[in-house]
Structure 1
Amino acid sequence: MIEKQALSVTQVNQYIKEVMNRDTVLTDILVKGELSNFKAHSSGHMYMSLKDESGVMRAVMFRSSAAKLRFKPQNGMKVVAHGRITVYERDGQYQLYIDDMQQEGIGDLYVAFEKLKNKLNAEGLFDPAHKKPLPKYPKKVGVITAPTGAAIRDIINVLSRRFSYSDVVLYPVLVQGENSAASIVEAIRYFNRTDGADVLIVGRGGGSIEDLWSFNEEIVARAIYDSHIPIVSAVGHEIDFTISDFAADLRAPTPSAAAELVVPSQNELMDKFNNVYSRLYSQANRILERAKLMLKSQAERPVLTDPRLKLNEQRIYLDRLYQDLTGACTDLFRGKQQAASLAVSRLDGLSPLGALHRGFSVTEDGNGHVIRSVKQTAPGEKISILVEDGRILAVTEKTEETTALSGVE
């Protein structure tokens, strides 16, 4: 026999709860049956059982969901309940946790509602990524609703009070009954064809689920999804939800709230403008005050109060600069003069004229060529001897070759 580890009752209940919580059928389920053992607790929670001919199921509806009910549940009433089934760990009993409930008949509509909602959601009609932002300052607000009734009055009153700069364009439609869904669709398409508004409010006042059913029609949801103009859905009261609410770019709990959402408050805008103006005015004043202080500081400088002081300082500075420049030029001139004298002396030592001054002479032939050798002249030729103070003209009598003197070329 294979030994197995024993589980506690609590562990078993927890495991069963985890399994049921992972089941996609049990976590989003519609159950129809007859109410029995109904009890409305003082806390606001409702406890009951749902039964049919051969079975019974415990159920609970917490206060937050029970407060949204449009009818008073009673024993023997046939209902359709939406919620999730899981285990109540303490007792090990499974039960239905109800988040919405409708009477039978109305419950059939609720079943159709859930079926269409799941279908359109699977197609992506409720995808948040498709939602369009509302314009901040719409010039035209299109309203698609009945021409009479509280909804249009509330919308116009709020828009005129909140932002009177927007024009209101009403497209009157049927909001319930035969052809109402087609009427709403045509209005949405009209505004999109003509670009007749910057934002649309589609809705009506409160009513029963049958009264609001036009806004649960598939053609209305698709027209809202296809609109390139942002749409705010405002159907019924805060507790009412329709397919149009999920398809719209924004859902408002009431028509009045929709009007609040589509336009800014001109009073709030004026307050913001005044705040910005005050900040700019204060900042400008601070800049001016700093400029005044700077000008005052500059004006109090001695150079501006008595300009002669500054002129005297500049005159003294220029005198010193002149003296320094004169001395520097004199020193530079003397240095250059000494260098030139030294260079002249060196050049004199290298110059042929210097050699003449020291007693040497230069002999040239009749053509002015320097005679460096006895071979360059012959007896009887005229020669010219250059000395320091002139020339001596002579005639060669004879030539004699001698050994060159040391140091003499």
Structure 2
Amino acid sequence: MKNQITIGLLGFGVVGSGVAKILQNHQEDLRHKLGVPVTIKKVLVKHIDKQRGTEFASDVFTNNLNDVINDPSIDLIVEVIGGTSEAKDAIERSLRAGKGVVTANKDVMAEYGMELLKLADENKCDLFYEASVGGGIPLIRTLEDGLASDRIRALTGIVNGTTNFILTKMKHENMSYEDALAEATELGFAEADPSADVDGIDAARKMVILASLSFSMEVRLEDVLVRGLKEIQDGDLELAAWFGYTVKLAGSAKKDVDGIEVAVEPVFFLNSHPLASVNNEYNAVYIYGDTVGETMFYGPGAGSLPTATSVTGDIIAACRNLLLGVNGKRLHAPQFERKVKSDSNRFSRYFHRIFVKDEVGVLSKLTAIYSEHGASLASVVQHPRKDGEGAELIFITHQMSRQQHLNIVNELNETSEVVSVLSHYRVEGEE
């Protein structure tokens, strides 16, 4: 039996240095949990001469990946480089060398997860990726182990802390989008280039990972309907509050006999919905299972230490498998063939905000359009515009297909009495 576990750490940025700090500070706890010490032997960095203020000796750092992967004494690789191509190559080479991998890389796992998990199976290695979704929330482990006996039907949640922080500031402090984004950047919740967050791409990648695991099916990024914060127009948050809703950029995934549907978009959540009260950088995911019913997982979704904590949790799991000699025993092949629903089989309620000319008969003409498309209306409200030009009609529909929704929006935009469809949202919560 091994008398210690040695780690090769790829990357020493915010998350990598956090992982190193946790491992160094918790050696007594790790030895108690595992029975052996866990040490970092090599750290891959871009610039060896950079001052880092760490307890590691200078010979621990290297800029050559071969120094880490080809070291026979290193048992486990921890990848926190970030990005796609370099990280994917490092994970592949590590697995082919027979070394288990722990990664926090959502980009790689969303695009190449199935391929890499298959490679891990072929080489009898572990590949853990808890930190790729949800920061400090143990979602992956819950789906793989805690809910393994259940059949997951749907999940919906807030999986991007940056956008949730921005929307919280806009709603509760009346901040502009620009000011809220600036504060998120200052606090380290947003990257210098926030486009992946605010455009919904980051959340979409996480939903690919969660949906693939939940439904035991290959889900691709191209399968996800994505709409970002740019879809939110001036006045939408106030209108949502007036109707008793809160706007969240949410991910959703559902599976039934017709296939799967996965989306990331701004959603109107009824204020009584648990996700409506999830604020700031926190994430929360609601999971619906056949036997367990509804469960919700909540925690910090942004920040270096929550992510580093998840990475370290995976390290402990991988170390246990190594010590027990059961690493690489879990098969990851999908159970079901990929089948994605058409828009005609995706059903929801919708909020439509329509800028119309202030003319007689406009309301009856527009409601007739909904009727012609087989859609019924739950609420109809007319709002005056601040500029005094025309009027705004607010329609909240009963359940209808996304195809009906798209057809209605297209026809509304082509109607002479309509200036424009200002915004539209999916609505979640009891009618």
Structure 2 length as normaliser, TM-score?
0.22
Looking at secondary structure, tell me which structure has more strand per residue: 2
Ranked by relative contact order (alpha carbons within 8 Å, sequence separation 6 or more), the top structure is 2
Bigger share in helix: 1
User: Which structure has the larger Rg over C-alpha atoms?
Assistant: 1
